[in-house]
Amino acid sequence: MEKIRLGIVGFGNMGTGHVKNVVEGKVPDMVMGAICDTAPARCEAARQLYPQIPVFEDVEELYGSGLCDVVLIATPHYHHPSLAVKAFAHGLHVITEKPAGVYTGQVKEMNAAAAKSDRKFGIMYNQRTNPVYQKLRNMVQEGELGHIKRITWIITDWYRPQAYHDSSTWRSTWKSEGGGALINQNPHQLDLWQWMFGMPDRIFAKASFGKYYNIEVEDDVMAYFEYDNGTTGEYITSTGETPGTNRLEIACDMGKVVVENNKITFYRNVISEREHNQVNTVPFGRPDCWECNIPADFSGGPQHVGILSNFASALLHGTPLLAPGEEGINGLTISNAIHLSAWTGETVDVKNFPDERFYELLQEKIRTSTIVKKESQVVVDNSNTY
């Protein structure tokens, strides 16, 4: 293959952006092969915008067309795993949008299908292309921070007004979206958390459902993470605050790291706190501390284009995937565990996550839903319609 032919499944917000990037040549090793959406209006819009690209209303027809080497699934969340499984069965490589799915059981089935195939599998975790998070991950892995004592991430700059929740019939319901802030806005941060610091062992959480808006899903969350090695974490997120905050703070033996405004500041102890504690004899004595601005590319990185370029390079040149699709279950497990803890008031064992129990409680939420969206309520239907 000289260039990878991409098929887009779901011509909504994300799908249209991916098509635009490829058509404009921002992914040099990739060209558009086909577009698919189940909504006739969106198919017509695709034909008007890109008359040179074949458009399908049936995903099986696209999968069997021979026009694509890889498909990118950009549909509402519940459909990601089933569409990926079908794509693998047709011998296609797959990239799925985030989240990997809504509940861990269906994502395990998707991962199993990927493992049985000889196809590449990726996920659109574009924040992994951000050099700031790449640098921080490298610092953690190389032991520059020493033992991590506490991680606090306040990510509340996800403000979404009621008009957003009303913009599509599938948004902000258990049945159609599968959750709120955790499943929609936060998958990137939950993935980055486990990518940089590893999976927590236990989670306890409190969440508010419809605290700020006329919705049934979570719009305000506080979660407490525990690790067997003594590290603790606090994760705070909301869609009801503006201007909001995005601040990641790491307390460690070697001092404190703050990531904010896409910059890294390391308040670095000259010696580790644990070493200082052993040799210090002065009451209230502290180790000297330097304020270090860690050099990194603060541009934010290539984001979505970077993930597509990396995937194309993996197919053409064997480059390792930056965001393997199989890893999508990690952030989703954290998300599911937060939901489960908030629903039950229990501390959840992440390593032995109860997939079936979560699924049963999710189905109960769907059965007891009292929110019914009508088409007349939709202000602007700018979402995926698959």
Q: What is the pLDDT of residues 270-296, one digit of tens each?
A: 999 999 999 999 999 999 999 999 998
Burial 23-51 (b: 16+ CB within 10 A, else e): eeeebebbbbbbbbbbbeebbebbeeebe
What pLDDT score does 31 carry? 98
Kindly tell me if the per-residue pLDDT of 26 is higher than 70: yes
Is residue 376 in some structural domain?
no
Is residue 381 in some structural domain?
no
* Residue 345 belongs to domain spanning: 128-299+331-367
What's the CA gap between 109 and 103, in Å, rounded? 11
pLDDT band at 370 (very low <50, low <70, confident <90, very high): confident
Q: What is the CA radius of gyration of the chain?
A: 22
Question: Quick one: 152 and 116 in the same domain?
Answer: no
Is residue 379 in some structural domain?
no
Question: Quick one: 23 and 55 in the same domain?
Answer: yes
Q: How many domains does the chain have?
A: 2
Residue 242 sits in a domain whose CATH number is: 3.30.360.10
Is residue 383 in some structural domain?
no
Kindly tell me if the per-residue pLDDT of 380 is higher than 60: no
Kindly tell me if the per-residue pLDDT of 386 is higher than 60: no
What pLDDT score does 298 carry? 84
Where is pLDDT greater, at 80 or 167?
A: 80
pLDDT band at 137 (very low <50, low <70, confident <90, very high): very high
Question: Quick one: 251 and 281 in the same domain?
Answer: yes
What pLDDT score does 9 carry? 98
Is residue 209 in some structural domain?
yes
Mean pLDDT within 143-163: 98
Question: Quick one: 157 and 267 in the same domain?
Answer: yes
Question: Quick one: 117 and 196 in the same domain?
Answer: no
pLDDT band at 1 (very low <50, low <70, confident <90, very high): low
Question: Quick one: 14 and 148 in the same domain?
Answer: no
Q: Of the candidates 103, 45, 102, which has an alpha carbon nearest to the alpha carbon of residue 75?
A: 102
Is residue 385 in some structural domain?
no
What pLDDT score does 374 carry? 57
What pLDDT score does 297 carry? 87
Question: Quick one: 36 and 55 in the same domain?
Answer: yes
In percent, the amount of the chain with pLDDT more than 90 equals 92
Question: Quick one: 268 and 142 in the same domain?
Answer: yes
Question: Quick one: 207 and 286 in the same domain?
Answer: yes
Least reliable range by pLDDT among 28-37, 120-129, 348-357, 376-385: 376-385
Kindly tell me if the per-residue pLDDT of 226 is higher than 70: yes
Kindly tell me if the per-residue pLDDT of 185 is higher than 70: yes
Is residue 375 in some structural domain?
no
What pTM was computed for the model?
0.95
What pLDDT score does 299 carry? 87
Is residue 98 in some structural domain?
yes
Question: Quick one: 198 and 339 in the same domain?
Answer: yes
Least reliable range by pLDDT among 130-134, 296-300, 312-316: 296-300
Question: Quick one: 316 and 358 in the same domain?
Answer: no
Question: Quick one: 169 and 223 in the same domain?
Answer: yes
Residue 34 sits in a domain whose CATH number is: 3.40.50.720
Strands (E), the chain: 4-9, 30-36, 55-56, 70-73, 93-96, 121-123, 148-155, 202-209, 218-226, 232-238, 246-252, 255-260, 263-269, 289-293, 348-349
